[in-house]
A and B are shown apart, each in its own frame.
Chain A
Amino acid sequence: MQIVSQILFVIALVFGIGFFARNIKKLIKYIKLGKDIDRTDQPNERFANMARVALGQSKMVKRPIAGMLHIFVYVGFVIINIEVLEIIIDGIFGTHRVFAFLGTGYDVLIASFEILALLVLIGVIVFWIRRNVIKLKRFWANEMKGWPKNDANYILYFEMVLMALFLIMNAADHQLQILGADHYANEAGIMASFPISQFLLPIFDGLSISTLIIVERAAWWLHILGILFFLNYLYYSKHLHILLAFPNTYYAKLKPKGELNNLEAVTNEVKLMMDPNADPFAAPEPTEGEEEVPEKFGASDVQDLNWVQLLNAYTCTECGRCTSECPANQTGKKLSPRKIMMDTRDRLEEVGKNIEKNKEFKDDGKQLLNDYITTEELWACTTCNACVEACPVGIDPLSIIIDMRRYLMMEQSAAPNELNISMGNIENNGAPWPYNQMDRLNWANEN
């Protein structure tokens, strides 16, 4: 019987981790659909940024209540994973509480897991209340209807169940140890200490050893199977941030927020135009092999974005802090930086599946622009960087907005009319207003 359970465990483990690895491979493949961008410079600064923002949660605590609760859940999940390690060893080798030899250290370990489990449970319950009872505005925006809302709640339910199972498992185990059950009891006394689950003991009063073993085993199995399931749910949910927050903060932009990249393709064109020695009628240099396609300016679909922007999209956990800080959104405009990220991810998934099915991308008559993100949203942005500042995991929605505006401006000449007039003014008289450049110093003589 024991060996059957060990075999079943190994199968579950291999299947769970294997499937997860497959999804991660797919994730990396999709992210690599983005254009290349070099973010390997300044590794020390990048590590520091990751340590501060992802590991240290420095931006989360800007909103103290959510920040503190999130730290409970975050620390809880990281630390409780040590317990998962023990579960895996026990599962494979048929041992029970293999780390118990640590003695007092083990008591401390299990005690801290239990306290953290309780804090996680409290955190998650408050999160659920904030979403579903208090109905914080940012969780009820338009883009949160349907799947995103359910997804968030499923994750919370899942975490509640996992923590409850962990505590029930410990309580049943504790009771079995008290009753001196085979395989559970230890001559040296009670293994581990149970500061939280001891309060569950009364529930098990009067239950037979065999019933308790069923309860303990069921909780143990459901706990580990739940974790394996959750691991695989990540890819399909908004919850990937627990992994991707780290690479995302590492590869985040280090330059001043106000600095937008200069498009190299444009620089080349401008240089050619400004070069007095350039022959505008010269035939283009002959290129080997395929005919060169002129570079597209800006982005109309996900493949035009760079891989960091696509990584950003997968990292977004839809918390909505960006949107709640956005001046356009606060004044009732359609723009929501969170939606920009959600749309980018949805479209990327669609494009990725398309490529998997057809070996290469087959035109599906859709693109990120218009089919997902409308021009009305794009033109509402004031480029104020509030969204970038607000993001607790270093996402840059503004860069996507700018790349899409570039496409609208340079490939489609599709800017709002007043803006086009200003562009014309800059082009003709060096100012966004229709004043003559020759009058630029007139102010000095006016009183």
Chain B
Amino acid sequence: MAEAIKVPTMAEYMAEGKKPEVLFWVGCAGSFDDRAKKITKAFVKLLSKAGVEFAVLGTEESCTGDPAKRSGNEFLFQMQAVTNIEVLNGYEIEKIVTACPHCFNTIKNEYPELGGNYQVMHHTQFLKSLLEEGRLKVEGGKFKGKRITFHDPCYLGRANNEYEAPRDLLRKLEVELVEMRKCKKNGLCCGAGGGQMFKEPEKGNKDVNILRTEQAIETEPEVIAAGCPFCNTMMTDGVKGKDKEGQIEVMDVAEMIADAEDL
């Protein structure tokens, strides 16, 4: 675990006159949030294991503008977008993978009109393609037979109609996949989207993440699998709020695969 992971930057690739296969867009949460950084590292380990030539932007990366756009600050969003697109186009990026569905949605859907055209994949989609190509092998492991429920991130699921990639990965881990009563197209939000992550909720009788965690707990899972750093935070808080920390873990699908492989 202690061995340092090698994370090349685009600038380094450029200096060598080479181009990586894919750009890993880390995102703000993946870069700064302590919990999300673990997901970032797990994903990087999987990329290394599969022999993927990847690079990150490092200090040249900046917020995609998703929270700004969804809060109504279109101006700030477009400033961020145009700046990022300039960097990405400067490096002639063609393919991007990210572990954050918000970054995924924004770069995939909202950047093209502003001049940023890339093939964008969510990390679960990318990992699935690595499995299909035989570059990464996942079989059972420590989650085999465990009860797992997957919480659909809104920006991967409803927003972009991807429900199966993360579930396919979980099936590869040979888990007992159980669905919440609200899942896939009807999945309930964790409560973080649309800028909510960065503000106090409006007055109500419950927090959204608590309601969602209750739905997850109904399935009696050992792990709540997530595919978004914000959902991860919200569900982790929810599990704590319900005093279930000892029994239920909240893990990103990438972490589960890395864990199963003892990476």
Contacts and interface: CB of A to CB of B under 8 A. Distances in A.
A444 B5 contact: yes
A69 to B, nearest CB: 20
Nearest to A388: B158
Contacts, number: 229
B253 interface: no
B47 interface: no
Given A327-B211, A331-B207, A382-B189, A256 B109 contact: yes
Given A376-B202, A382-B191, A383-B193, A441 B9 contact: yes
Interface string B45-68: 000000000001011011101011
A131 interface: no
Contact of B199 (A298, A328, A419): A419
A359 interface: no
Interface string A269-285: 11101100000000000
Nearest to A376: B202
Nearest to A414: B72
Contact of A431 (B31, B109, B191): B31
Nearest to B208: A327
Contacts of A255: 109
Nearest to A267: B78
A258 interface: yes
A333 B189 contact: no
Contacts of B73: 406, 409-410, 415, 423
A442 B192 CA distance: 25
A382 B230 CA distance: 12
Interface footprint category on A: 35 or more
A432 B198 contact: yes
Give the secondary structure class of A's interface. helix
A417 B9 CA distance: 36
Contacts of B196: 382
Nearest to B37: A443
Nearest to A259: B109
A180 interface: no
Interface string B149-160: 000001100111
A388 B161 CA distance: 13
A402 B193 CA distance: 13
B211 A270 contact: no
Given A385-B154, A444-B4, 19 more contacts: A258-B105, A258-B154, A259-B105, A298-B74, A327-B189, A330-B208, A376-B202, A380-B201, A382-B192, A382-B208, A384-B189, A410-B75, A419-B195, A422-B195, A430-B61, A430-B80, A440-B26, A441-B31, A443-B26
30 contacts: A256-B161, A257-B158, A258-B109, A260-B69, A262-B74, A262-B110, A270-B82, A327-B212, A328-B204, A332-B204, A333-B204, A382-B154, A383-B194, A384-B154, A386-B188, A406-B72, A406-B73, A409-B72, A410-B72, A415-B72, A419-B71, A419-B195, A419-B199, A430-B28, A430-B80, A431-B62, A435-B31, A441-B58, A443-B32, A444-B44
Interface of B: 1-2, 4-5, 7, 9, 26, 28, 30-33, 37, 40-41, 44, 56, 58-59, 61-63, 65, 67-76, 78-80, 82-83, 105, 108-110, 113-114, 154-155, 158-161, 185-189, 191-208, 210-212
Interface of A: 62, 255-260, 262-263, 266-267, 269-271, 273-274, 297-298, 325, 327-328, 330-335, 376, 379-386, 388-390, 402, 404-410, 415-416, 418-419, 421-423, 426-427, 430-433, 435, 437-447
